Chains A and B, each alone.
Chain A
Amino acid sequence: MPNTTQPSVGLFVTCLVDLFRPNVGFSAVKLLEDAGCRVSVPAAQTCCGQPAFNSGDRADARAIAEGVIKAFEPFDYVVAPSGSCAGMMKSHYGELFRGDASWASRVGAFTAKTYELVSFLTDVLGIAEVDARFPGTVTYHDSCSGLRELGIQKQPRKLLGSVEGLTIAEMQDPDVCCGFGGTFCVKYPDISNAIVERKTADIETTGAKTLLAGDLGCLMNMAGKLKREGSHVEVRHVAEVLAGMADGPAIGEKR
């Protein structure tokens, strides 16, 4: 018998987590369940539509958004382990349906209940600490959409502060873009490289052994660069550390 006082959460896995790093999805499920949520993963989800939206293809972005909204209607909340996808859904879906009265209330309800994972834990559920251990020094990169569209900055640091054995060494510019930018990094690889080079230099200067962030796109970009540079810094999604599920190989490490 499901406990009806528990909030029901539809997990929006995000396409990158689904394809490249399912462990982040399972970490998110654990964190949400530990916090007392009932978690479901609707099968009818693929991507939030951001690649189409940011490429100027509104028609496809809107069609994808309609699918997402429908798939998540049964839940109290929609939670994504990504500031970028959550930002797309929360801050931009409204624009895709502007002037369409038949969708207005559904879109409004959807955007109001959509959150990024870590800020959902702290700001909505009031979680102040997690039960996890991760010995060592980490540095945290503020991914752009989460930081500037959703105001995520203190929340991950607060929860990381409760992880046993973990210390944070801040970068000089943790809030500067890593150069990923979705399709940007393959459309303008030379500029993207110049930006990520400054980022990895900043990361190395902290002396941290582990780099964390809340968005897999940025993490894959920075991990890819660090590995190419021969760095020993390990790269993980913040949810993996918070859930105590960071014992497997880091991003880009052999299995």
Chain B
Amino acid sequence: MHLTSPQFKSNVDHALHDAQLQKALGNVRAGFIDKRAKAAAALPEFEALRDNARDIKDHTLAHLDLYLEAYEKRVTESGGHVHFAETAKDACAIISSICKSVGAKTVTKGKSMIAEEIGLNDFLEADGLTTVETDLGEYIIQLRHEGPSHIIAPAVHLNKEQVEADFRRVHKDLPGDRDLSEPASLLSEARAVLREKFLAADVGITGANFLIAETGTSVIVTNEGNGDLTQILPKVHIVIASVEKITPTLNDASQILRLLARSATGQDMSVYTTFSTGPRRPGDVDGPEQYHVVILDNGRSSMLGTEFEDMLRCIRCGACMNHCPIYHSVGGHAYGWVYPGPMGAVLTPTLVGVDKSGHLPNASTFCGRCESVCPMRIPLPKMMRHWREREFERNLSPATVRWGLSVWSFFARRPKLYQFSTGLAMRALGAFGRAKGRFSFLPLAGGWTKYRDFPAPEGATFQQQWKAKRGAA
């Protein structure tokens, strides 16, 4: 996905003026929040599960090398292959060469954020392969040549009418007068189109929600069942997942699964939770002949032991963006890369560099709603602040901000001087503002007064009045 995070401000401007997008974002605000709240409230042990899930992941991250080794051993024992990829390019090259080794022409794909992160489709297409997204949302954005705007609902920025128009544009061989007014009719049309692709595919690529070290199993959760067809029908199944998906045991994965769908969509469980262990064994009724797992690092191991390690607990549920007032205002594409919302504001700078994505951790009010719903108890605002610290240390913050801050700090550290100067300033401001009680324009405060009036101060400061009334403390 083409990186536009450096142009965050113009992305925002575009998003705020996009009427279709704004309408779709209304659905995000209305759709996810109540459902999650109800699901969480209905499970008495929900908060305890969150603590437990955090501890499971922290333990895993502390012993990641051991669990990766154990996982690889189990996969190999069950007849599969594990490939470690340090970079996005490495991962793409590994996948491409597996596809070539079986003479593949068509590749079906389940939904995978890692595939988006490494730009897999473009890479494979450049190598002459045809890739077909089988998740409905991914299928829609593939038709539109767009990236996902949400990590679990990639086409959430679109309205039904837009999807209908895309289907009519692309599915030309279907009768023009067919009825596509209902979401269900769109879904069944996509299903019919995709059915042929499933059967034609040589390789199926899926992501993974968990890689279980105890058993060498990869786990996917979906609501459409497309992932199952993607991984069962072709002769080769390739799993692409990042290192932090490693989970020690089946029991650990089950505990986290109890949080995942509840946090994401408010379901108790997703409709399909599928466990895959190795290729088809003799006597199995179905399954691939080859089973490969590509484990991607792409900078993640360098987060271990740093203030960003907590981010590796993320299970990609999307709750943080579903509850984010910034995401609600501008949608996912404005963030300029694959990961939007609060989790993207923390993760994107690690993956593409904070010099290119510095706006993301700054564009937050620190309202903390993301952290309050994150099932893995990831302190997202705190980590955004850590990015701001890194920017400050590296002099990447805008000069005007640094200048303003240093003047302010100079005074804030000198109470006597501060009170003397603010006393004068507030008297002046109070006197000017008295007639109306507010300013509709103030020099140096254009960002405020463009949209809001600025309430005038009472006049004398509290400290001045207090001194006059009660004397110094």
Chain A interface (Cβ within 8 Å of chain B)? 13, 15, 17-23, 25-26, 40-47, 49, 51-58, 60, 63-64, 67, 71, 144-145, 148-149, 175-177, 179-196, 198, 220-221, 223-225, 227-228, 249, 251-255
Beta-carbon contact of B401 and A64 below 8 Å? no
Chain B residues lying within 8 Å of A251, measured Cβ to Cβ, are 455
A44 and B415 alpha carbons, distance in the complex (Å): 5
Chain A residues lying within 8 Å of B455, measured Cβ to Cβ, are 20, 220, 223-224, 227, 251-252
Chain A residues lying within 8 Å of B408, measured Cβ to Cβ, are 51-52
Partner pick for B437 among A44, A183, A187, A254, CB 8 A cutoff: A254
* Nearest-neighbor residue (CB-CB) of B387 within chain A: A56
A184 and B360 alpha carbons, distance in the complex (Å): 12
A134 and B204 alpha carbons, distance in the complex (Å): 67
Beta-carbon contact of B389 and A56 below 8 Å? yes
Beta-carbon contact of B453 and A224 below 8 Å? yes
A231 and B226 alpha carbons, distance in the complex (Å): 51
A13-B463, A22-B458, A223-B455 known; A56-B413 Cβ under 8 A: no
Chain B: minimal CB distance from A196 (Å): 7
Interface size on B, residues (CB 8 A): 72
Chain A residues lying within 8 Å of B461, measured Cβ to Cβ, are 18-19, 22
Chain B residues lying within 8 Å of A20, measured Cβ to Cβ, are 426, 455, 457-458
A20-B457, A23-B458 known; A183-B401 Cβ under 8 A: yes
Partner pick for A144 among B369, B413, B415, B456, CB 8 A cutoff: B369
A19 and B463 alpha carbons, distance in the complex (Å): 9
A149 and B391 alpha carbons, distance in the complex (Å): 25
Most buried by B among A42, A51, A60, A175: A60
Chain A residues lying within 8 Å of B329, measured Cβ to Cβ, are 191, 194-195
A100 and B436 alpha carbons, distance in the complex (Å): 50
**29 intermolecular pairs with C-beta atoms under 8 Å apart:** A19-B425, A20-B455, A22-B460, A22-B465, A25-B462, A25-B466, A43-B415, A43-B467, A43-B473, A46-B411, A46-B412, A46-B414, A56-B390, A67-B413, A145-B366, A177-B367, A177-B369, A181-B365, A186-B447, A187-B401, A192-B365, A193-B452, A194-B329, A196-B452, A223-B453, A227-B452, A252-B437, A252-B453, A252-B455
Partner pick for A56 among B397, B415, B452, B458, CB 8 A cutoff: B397
* Nearest-neighbor residue (CB-CB) of A58 within chain B: B389
Beta-carbon contact of B385 and A181 below 8 Å? no
Partner pick for B12 among A56, A177, A191, A252, CB 8 A cutoff: A191
A42 and B369 alpha carbons, distance in the complex (Å): 34
Chain B residues lying within 8 Å of A60, measured Cβ to Cβ, are 405-406, 409, 412-413
B363 at interface by CB-CB < 8 Å:
yes
Q: Which of B297-349 contact A (CB under 8 A)?
A: 325-326, 328-330
* Nearest-neighbor residue (CB-CB) of B33 within chain A: A173
Chain A: minimal CB distance from B409 (Å): 4
Chain B: minimal CB distance from A40 (Å): 4
B32 at interface by CB-CB < 8 Å:
no
Chain B residues lying within 8 Å of A63, measured Cβ to Cβ, are 409, 413
B388 at interface by CB-CB < 8 Å:
yes
Q: Told that A148-B372, A192-B451, A223-B455 touch, could you supply 17 new A-B pairs with CB distance under 8 A?
A: A20-B457, A22-B461, A22-B465, A23-B458, A26-B465, A43-B473, A55-B401, A57-B392, A60-B412, A64-B413, A181-B364, A181-B367, A187-B401, A191-B330, A194-B16, A252-B437, A254-B436
Chain A residues lying within 8 Å of B391, measured Cβ to Cβ, are 56
Beta-carbon contact of B412 and A185 below 8 Å? no
B435 at interface by CB-CB < 8 Å:
yes
Chain A residues lying within 8 Å of B463, measured Cβ to Cβ, are 13, 18, 41, 43
* Nearest-neighbor residue (CB-CB) of B452 within chain A: A224
B133 at interface by CB-CB < 8 Å:
no
- One digit per residue, 1 when the CB lies within 8 angstroms of any chain A CB and 0 when it does not, for chain B 388-404 equals 11111100010001000
Beta-carbon contact of A189 and B451 below 8 Å? yes
Chain B residues lying within 8 Å of A196, measured Cβ to Cβ, are 451-452
Beta-carbon contact of B458 and A180 below 8 Å? no
A187 and B16 alpha carbons, distance in the complex (Å): 16
Q: Which of B434-461 contact A (CB under 8 A)?
A: 434-438, 440, 445, 447-448, 450-458, 460-461
B350 at interface by CB-CB < 8 Å:
no
A55-B397, A186-B445 known; A179-B325 Cβ under 8 A: yes
A47 and B438 alpha carbons, distance in the complex (Å): 23
Beta-carbon contact of A180 and B365 below 8 Å? yes
Most buried by A among B369, B405, B411, B447: B447
* Nearest-neighbor residue (CB-CB) of B457 within chain A: A20
A8 and B66 alpha carbons, distance in the complex (Å): 55
Chain A: minimal CB distance from B414 (Å): 8
Chain B: minimal CB distance from A230 (Å): 10
- One digit per residue, 1 when the CB lies within 8 angstroms of any chain A CB and 0 when it does not, for chain B 43-64 equals 0000000000000000000000
A25 and B462 alpha carbons, distance in the complex (Å): 7
Chain A residues lying within 8 Å of B413, measured Cβ to Cβ, are 46, 60, 63-64, 67
Chain A: minimal CB distance from B441 (Å): 11
Beta-carbon contact of B422 and A187 below 8 Å? no
Beta-carbon contact of A56 and B447 below 8 Å? no
Chain B residues lying within 8 Å of A52, measured Cβ to Cβ, are 405, 408-409, 412
Chain A residues lying within 8 Å of B363, measured Cβ to Cβ, are 184, 187-188, 191
Chain B: minimal CB distance from A231 (Å): 11
A195 and B425 alpha carbons, distance in the complex (Å): 30
* Nearest-neighbor residue (CB-CB) of A20 within chain B: B457
Chain A residues lying within 8 Å of B418, measured Cβ to Cβ, are 46
* Nearest-neighbor residue (CB-CB) of B324 within chain A: A177
- One digit per residue, 1 when the CB lies within 8 angstroms of any chain A CB and 0 when it does not, for chain B 168-200 equals 000000000000000000000000000000000
A176 and B366 alpha carbons, distance in the complex (Å): 12
* Nearest-neighbor residue (CB-CB) of A249 within chain B: B437
B472 at interface by CB-CB < 8 Å:
yes
Q: Which of B13-71 contact A (CB under 8 A)?
A: 13, 16
Beta-carbon contact of B452 and A148 below 8 Å? no
* Nearest-neighbor residue (CB-CB) of A10 within chain B: B473
Beta-carbon contact of A148 and B371 below 8 Å? yes
Chain B residues lying within 8 Å of A198, measured Cβ to Cβ, are 328
Beta-carbon contact of A252 and B456 below 8 Å? yes
Most buried by A among B413, B418, B426, B436: B413
Beta-carbon contact of A184 and B365 below 8 Å? yes
Q: Which of B362-385 contact A (CB under 8 A)?
A: 362-369, 371-372, 385
